[in-house]
Amino acid sequence: MKREEIEDQLDEVRERLLMALELLPDELLLQKGMLGEWAISDFLVNLVAWESELVTGLMQLQQGKRPQHLFKALADPEAYNQAQYQEYSGRDLDRIFDDLQGVRVQLEGWLTEFNDRELNDPNRFPMFKGKPLWQIIQRCSFGREAQRVMLIERIAAAYREEEEE
């Protein structure tokens, strides 16, 4: 996948997410149990955590270092998610949205440090065991976001219908 395609995926999924979130009141974003046991705000914090880990990992890769924390998170994503949930659950919405935007800007900046060959060569970063870097980016960022966007869009549509009645 070319860097431009990754950037397009990042933009497309984020736009869908923000459009759905725009329709929902803060109380609904904070309500537990909207996405499994999580509130939508918990999911947003989780996105920030994964993208932050990814940004740090990309920086380390660029410096020729092994991204230990990213590698550990990828090895056991459920444990990582649970640890992030415990640490950041209940965070202020304004801060969540600031962090969501801020880490995305950083991610987009770090993407420019990698050429298409580096993003696609499954042997370039051996610690990812034959997976090209773009797949790691997808798994930590736009792929993770896309998994929940449809559900959040459905929640927003149901809320809008309820409000119109």
Domains plus CATH for the chain? 3-164 (1.20.120.450)
Does 89 score more than 90 pLDDT? no
pLDDT over 90 (residue 122)? yes
Q: Which of 74, 78, 88, 101 is nearest to 42 (CA)?
A: 88
Q: Across the chain, what does the average pLDDT equal?
A: 95
pLDDT at 164: 87
Confidence of residue 65 (pLDDT cuts 50, 70, 90): very high
Which residue shows structure tokens 């869009």? Answer: 153
Cα torsion through 115, 102, 19, 148, rounded to 10? 70
- Looking at residue 165, its pLDDT comes to 80
pLDDT recorded at residue 148:
93
CA dihedral 127, 136, 92, 17 (to 10 degrees): 180
Cα dihedral 109→9→63→50 (10° resolution) = 100
List all residues 6 or more positions away from 84 whose beta carbon is below 8 Å from its beta carbon.
Answer: 45, 46, 49
> Quick one: average pLDDT of 19-26?
96
Condensed to tens digits (0 to 9), the pLDDT of residues 69-81 reads 999 999 999 999 9
Query: Using CA of residue 46, residue 137, residue 19, residue 37, what is the dihedral sign?
Result: negative
Number of residues that make up the chain: 165
Pick 165 or 83 by higher pLDDT.
83
Is the pLDDT confidence value at 159 over 90? Answer: yes
33: left (phi over 0), alpha (psi -120 to 50) or beta: left
State residue 141's pLDDT score: 98
